[in-house]
Structures are given as C-alpha cells and as structure tokens.
Amino acid sequence: MGAVSNLLDSKGRDVFTVKPDQPVHEAIEQMEKRSVGTAVVMDGGNVVGIISERDVFRKVILKGESIDDVQVQDILSGNLTTVSPETPLDECMRIMTEKRIRHLPVLHDKVLCGIVSIGDVVKYLVVEKDFKIKNLETYISGSM
C-alpha cells in the first residue's frame, strides 16, 4: 500500500493558500481562477485552518451574510486533522471516512508540503490495485 508521499509525487505538492484576514470574496475568486474548491489558511508559516466552497455557502450565504463583509478567519474550519508524508493511504481513507472530511493537509515538521483529497486517494489506490492485478494475471498466465 502506498504512502502519502507516493501520491504527492504523482499529483504534485502545490497547495493553494489564503490568509486569515483576506476577504472571503477574494478567496473565492482566487479559488475559481485555480479551479479548486478548497484552500489552506496560512498565518505566516503556520497552518491555521481550511476553507471550502461549502463553508462559504453554509457559513455566509445561508446565514444571509454579505460575502463582501466576511473574512476567511470568520468561517475557516480550525482544529485540522493533518497527515505526514509517511502516512499510509489506507489510513488516510479511514481518517476521512470516520471524520467525514474531504481534504487532509500534509505536514512535515509542521511545514505544509501538500494536500490530499478523498478523490486523490481513491484514484491512486485504484490505479495501484489495477497494476497489482495485471501483474498477478501476467504471473498466473505464465507470460512473464
């Protein structure tokens, strides 16, 4: 089974970040430009939370707030669950399923070095399993 570092090697380590004092409308515009639904909130070099499109709908729009009057720090999800590059991917799946979360920031020595989504993990595991199945089929058929 692969680890987070293997997944990051294949998908990349870029993470879109925003600042806590940034207006939500600005963060959403930047997320749209980058075609991402989530941003990690950084204060200096520290990860302080995460913001998603879902947060904006639930914590701003549905409450009748103006997106122009709200800052990222007002709606971010804090107390993040994070993983390290060494975390096995099946552990990531377990964490995301149990906690009902879709993204896990990846920290190495408290430094942000990537982010993985449930979709990233599922895709990686399916490709990995397909590779193993093909190798086993080749071995069984004696084609090696």
3-class SS letters over the chain:
CCEHHHHHHHHCCCCCEECCCCEHHHHHHHHHHHCCCEEEEEECCEEEEEEEHHHHHHHHHCCCCCCCCCEHHHHCECCCCCECCCCEHHHHHHHHHHHCCCEEEEEECCEEEEEEEHHHHHHHHHHHHHHHHHHHHHHHHCCC
Higher pLDDT pick, 1 / 95: 95
Place of tokens 């909130």: 41
pTM for the full model? 0.84
- Checking if the pLDDT of 134 tops 90, the result is no
Res. 8 pLDDT band, cuts 50 70 90: very high
How far is 60 from 68, CA to CA, in rounded Å? 10
- Checking if the pLDDT of 144 tops 60, the result is no
Going along the chain from its start, the domains and CATH numbers come out as 4-141 (3.10.580.10)
Query: What would the two tokens of residue 103 be?
Result: 């993204």
Per residue in 106-128, pLDDT (tens digit) is 999 999 999 999 999 988 888 77
Could you give the percent of the chain with pLDDT greater than 90?
Answer: 76
Higher pLDDT pick, 137 / 98: 98
Place of tokens 């895709």: 123
How far is 93 from 4, CA to CA, in rounded Å? 11
Q: At what angle do helices 118-141 and 89-99 cross, to 10 degrees?
A: 140
